[in-house]
């Protein structure tokens, strides 16, 4: 029993040392920055990679790097989601008047323009079988 406890204690120390080394040397899976004396870890990013959605704030930059190192050591990575932009994308394909799914006007550029097959007046003028020349 004592040997198992000693081995467990050694393992905890080894992991703690590896986390400290990773925090100092990197590379980390998470972006860590310092603002106004606080350390900030970005734990969730937009799928486009341009905005931080969820951040964890710590008392110091070193503490933030240590937490980012622990998450990296555990194999975690930032979540890549952007609910507001994703919801806007979904909403752009739903007609505001009737709730019907919109269709693309051109097959070659489906995201450029959309129409509602029920509400839009020009529905009958689009021939999906022919390509315009």
Region at 104 (left for phi over 0; alpha for psi -120 to 50; beta for the rest): beta
What does the pLDDT average to over 93-106?
Answer: 80
129 CB contacts (<8 Å, ≥6 apart)?
none
List of residues 6+ apart from 131 with CB closer than 8 A: 107
Could you report the per-residue pLDDT of 53-68, keeping only the tens digit for each? Answer: 778 899 999 899 999 9
Where do the H-state alpha helices sit in the chain?
A: 2-25, 61-73, 83-91
Q: Report whether 101 contacts 93 (CB < 8 A).
A: yes
In the chain, domain spans: 2-82, 92-125
Query: Mean pLDDT over residues 122-126, rounded?
Result: 49
This prediction's pTM: 0.53
- Those residues whose C-beta lies under 8 Å from the C-beta of residue 55, and which sit 6 or more positions away, are 40, 41, 42, 43
Long-range contact set of residues 121-128: C-beta below 8 Å, sequence gap at least 24: none
pLDDT at 89: 58
């Amino acid at each position: 029993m004592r040997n198992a406890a000693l081995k467990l204690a050694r393992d905890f120390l080894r992991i703690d040392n590896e986390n400290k080394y990773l925090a100092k040397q990197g590379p980390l899976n998470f972006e860590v920055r310092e603002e106004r004396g606080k350390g900030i870890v970005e734990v969730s990013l937009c799928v486009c990679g341009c905005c931080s959605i969820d951040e964890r704030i710590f008392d110091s930059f070193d503490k933030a790097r240590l937490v980012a190192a622990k998450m990296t050591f555990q194999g975690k990575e930032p979540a890549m989601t952007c609910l507001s932009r994703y919801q806007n994308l979904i909403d752009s394909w739903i007609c505001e008047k009737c709730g019907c799914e919109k269709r693309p006007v051109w097959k070659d550029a489906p995201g450029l323009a959309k129409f509602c097959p029920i509400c839009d007046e020009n529905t009958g003028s689009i021939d999906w079988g022919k390509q315009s020349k």
